[in-house]
Amino acid sequence: MNANSKRMVLLRQGLLAVGLLVLVMPAVAAAQEAATEGYLPTIVKQSWSFAGPFGKFDKAQLQRGYKVYKEVCANCHSMKFVAFRNLSDEGGPGFTEDQVKTLAAGYKVQDGPNDAGDMFDRPGKPSDHFPSPFANEKAARAANGGGLPPDMSVLAKARSDEKRFPQWLFNAVLQYQEYGPDYIYNLITSYGKEPPVGVTCPTGNYNPAFIGTTPCLAMPQPIQDGSVTYDDGTKPTIDNYARDVSAFLMWTAEPKLEERKETGLKVIIFLIVLASLLYFTKRRVWSNVAH
């Protein structure tokens, strides 16, 4: 067998090994996750306006999502990394500065100490961050049966499936970065389903979308149809509530998403032009040189 034949055999064996790895690794990863976490959550992908390389936030949807957060989620969940003034930032919900001042003034923010050395409450200002609904972690646990409601500032980016191979590779190729809002949407809309045989939640609520050691979580169903009245006439359904607040939390987690995508597009165009110029320059320089 000559050298070329040996190289071809080795190449075929290498390609076969890679193919087998791609086929086997998803099953292995799923088995490992099932062994460590007990089950695989059911997450159904949704369609979002901000998905893909050219995606943008729907400002009306972000404003509706903010209202759902304020009237429902804010009763238990903080959003400490977001300031009121961010609501008027470019690429966000699109509130005006006057609207932000009015929204901020509707919150009570602890300040101080004053001249007497005491802390006091005052109306919020645009520069303030969203206040926590609880004084401290112990108070939050005491009010929620021992469970600690997570901060929602970056929740949509904190929940991802990138730990599973080769899922992270497919996500990079397909530009799928919406697992977080998909998860939040599925979690809110998956309450009330019957658990499968052998699964019980004696101290919690069954939810097949929950990411944890079991499909049981302490949080009860947070919202019902008609809980929040939309100002723009959108139907007040759980599906719309879940979709809108998921989009809003995606914005709080990545407020510069639109700017990042615009910058990325400009960089890609620049690289294409640069590569073309380099190619034609190479052709011009070496066109009269014998090969």
pLDDT (0 to 100) of residue 21: 53
Residue type, 274: L
Residue type, 265: L
pLDDT (0 to 100) of residue 34: 45
Res. 258: pLDDT tops 70: yes
Q: Which of 4-8, 76-80, 204-208 comes out lowest in average pLDDT?
A: 4-8
Question: Percent of the chain, pLDDT > 90?
Answer: 58
How do residues 95-138 score in pLDDT, each as one tens digit?
999 999 999 999 999 888 888 888 889 999 999 999 999 989 99
Distances (CA, A) of 93 to 85, 171, 225, 244, 271: 11, 27, 23, 11, 32
Domain boundaries, the chain: 39-82+129-255, 256-286
- The mean predicted confidence, pLDDT, of the chain is 86
**pLDDT band per the 50, 70, 90 thresholds, residue 271:** very high
Average pLDDT of the segment spanning 221-240? 95
> What is the pTM for the complete model shown?
0.81
Is the domain covering 39-82+129-255 a CATH 1.10.760.10 domain?
A: yes
Average pLDDT of the segment spanning 49-61? 93
